[in-house]
Structure formats: structure tokens, C-alpha cells
Chain A
């Protein structure tokens, strides 16, 4: 029965798998840039979840123009995800600036070497 329900909600299941892949990349890899890419995968998985939660089957975009028909996707999900995407790119840019600085100061981007480096 559980497998059947998972089959109906396969979008959610795939998003959970994506989130866990991102989590694995953040924890297991030792390069800072690779960790940042993993963090972005986690963030986009969360956005995918929110937009999927707000969709209606056969629904239309929530724009009430002259030729829009009845079932609409929820506009709150879209607004949340828009804010989230912009905040994600801002934090990625700041993290990249910090990574550049770390590379200038220490010459390496591997967490293992950085951990052995300063006391």
C-alpha cells in the first residue's frame, strides 16, 4: 500500500531523493565549491517541493487574463519560491566571494587541508 501511495506522490518522493543527494554532497565532499553546488541542489529541491504542493492537475497559471480557465495553481507557492530563488542566488554570490578570499589567504579549497592548517 505504501508503494502505491508513493507511486501517486512520486513527485514528492523524487524531490526527497534530490534533497538527500544534495545533503550527501554537502557533507561528504571536501571541496568548498562542490559543497556550495550541493547546497544549491538542496535549495532547488525545496523550491520544487513548494511549487509541486501548489499545483493543480490541468491547472492554469494564476494570471487572470481574458483567456484563463478555471482551476488555477496557487499563487502563494509561486511567490514563496520567487523570493527563495533570489535569496538563494544572493547567498551563493556571497559564499563565492568568501571562497575567493579563502583561496587568496590559504591557497587551497579543500576542507581537510584547511583544517590542518591553522591552529
Chain B
């Protein structure tokens, strides 16, 4: 059962990373990266690492995504 959970999480991670790689809209890339961080946080919690999960949730899905969005709002929104 936990093997199935791991497999689904890892496939979700790879799919999100591929989606980030080919997204042309930078806001979509930043939000997808936030989803990637959230999936990682769930994976840490499943691996028995609550400290790392807490930090990854607050930092990855919180601070990093907001910093990206702030800078994208002040510069360009699409990549050429």
C-alpha cells in the first residue's frame, strides 16, 4: 500500500516537473512549482520526516512561490 502511494507521488512529481518545463506562461510555471513543492511535502511526511515537511511546506509552497510571483508581476509574464 505504501508502495502504491510512493509510486503515485513520484509519477505526480515527474509529471509536474515536465509541465513546468514546457509552460510558456511564467505565472503558470510558478504555480505548478508550488504544486510540486506541496507534493514533495506530502512525500516527506510519508517518509517519516515531519520537520522537513513543515519547512518545505512553509518555504517552498509559501515563500519561494510568492517571491517568484512578485518578480514576475514586475517583469515579463511570458517567455519568448
Contact = CB atoms under 8 A, between A and B. Distances in A.
B55 to A, nearest CB: 5
Contact of A100 (B30, B74, B80): B74
Chain B residues touching A, range = 35 or more
B10 to A, nearest CB: 4
Interface in A13-35: 14, 17-18, 21-22, 24-25, 29-31, 33-34
A52 B47 CA distance: 7
B62 to A, nearest CB: 10
Contacts of B67: 92-93, 96
B interface, over-half SS: helix
Q: When A and B form their complex, which 8 residue pairs have the shortest distance between CB atoms, in order from nearest?
A: A31-B79, A14-B10, A103-B75, A73-B48, A21-B17, A55-B47, A96-B71, A25-B21
Interface string A30-49: 11011011101100100110
Given A21-B21, A29-B79, A52-B47, A85 B52 contact: yes
A14 B49 contact: no
A interface, over-half SS: helix
A61 B48 contact: yes
B76 A96 contact: no
A56 B71 CA distance: 40
A10 B8 CA distance: 12
A112 B74 CA distance: 21
Contacts of A11: 6, 10
A14 B33 contact: no
A99 B21 contact: no
Nearest to A17: B14
Contacts of A5: none
Contacts of A47: 52
A82 interface: yes
Interface in A56-111: 56, 59-63, 72-73, 77-78, 81-82, 85-86, 89, 92-93, 96, 99-100, 103, 108-110
